[in-house]
Amino acid sequence: MVTIAKSADAIRKQNPTPKVELSVALLTGCQDRSYAFGLAMALASKGVRVDIIGNDRVDSPEFHTSPNLTFLNLGGIQHPESSFPTKLFQVLLYYLRLIRYVTFGNPKLIHILWNSKFEYFDRTFLMIYCKLLRKKIALTA
């Protein structure tokens, strides 16, 4: 038994398994900073490459100093006093940026923490689109 264990260790040292790099996109829905922060920091501490997609409300200085984290401010700054057309334009611009990211971004796993402004769009079109691109989806329930 001891000889088999030693030979298995010797084989592992000669042929180390390649380290698989996991890359995840966290869609925050531009809300719940504390949950997004905790999850992103925990994943990054385990060596997972994390792209955090949010806006100014979920941004954090740690997102810009941690080596495995990239914060993508796709939602921009949203002012409550803005007119309806301005708010609508900002939301549409967010979705265009999000679709571009999903199309060309590296992560194959997309974890949706919260829906964005248009829940039906997020739960239908965005999910179907991700599946067509062969991206895996995880939902926080």
What pLDDT is attached to residue 9?
53
Q: Give me the CATH number covering residue 33.
A: 3.40.50.20
In tens, the pLDDT along 65-118 reads 988 999 998 887 777 788 888 888 888 888 899 899 999 988 989 988 876 767
Q: Give a yes or no: residue 8 inside a domain.
A: no
What average pLDDT does range 4-26 have in this prediction?
Answer: 60
Q: Give a yes or no: residue 7 inside a domain.
A: no
Over 70: is that where the pLDDT of 4 sits? no
| Rounded Cα gap, residues 93 and 99, in angstroms | 10
| Rounded Cα gap, residues 89 and 68, in angstroms | 32
Q: Give a yes or no: residue 84 inside a domain.
A: yes
Q: Give a yes or no: residue 82 inside a domain.
A: yes
Contact 78, 55 (CB under 8 A): yes
What pLDDT is attached to residue 11?
47
Q: Which residue has the higher pLDDT, 140 or 2?
A: 140
Domain holding 112, by residue range, is: 19-139
Q: Give a yes or no: residue 14 inside a domain.
A: no
What pLDDT is attached to residue 54?
86
Over 50: is that where the pLDDT of 5 sits? no
Least confident segment among 5-9, 54-58, 131-135: 5-9
Q: Give a yes or no: residue 1 inside a domain.
A: no
Q: Where are the beta strands (DSSP E) in the chain?
A: 23-27, 49-54, 69-73, 109-112, 136-139
Q: Give a yes or no: residue 33 inside a domain.
A: yes
Q: Give a yes or no: residue 48 inside a domain.
A: yes
Q: For the purposes of burial, counting CB atoms within 10 Å of the CB of 78, is it exposed (0-12), middle (13-18) or buried (19 or more)?
A: middle
Half-sphere exposure for 65 (CA within 13 Å, toward CB): 3
Per the structure, the count of domains in the chain is 1
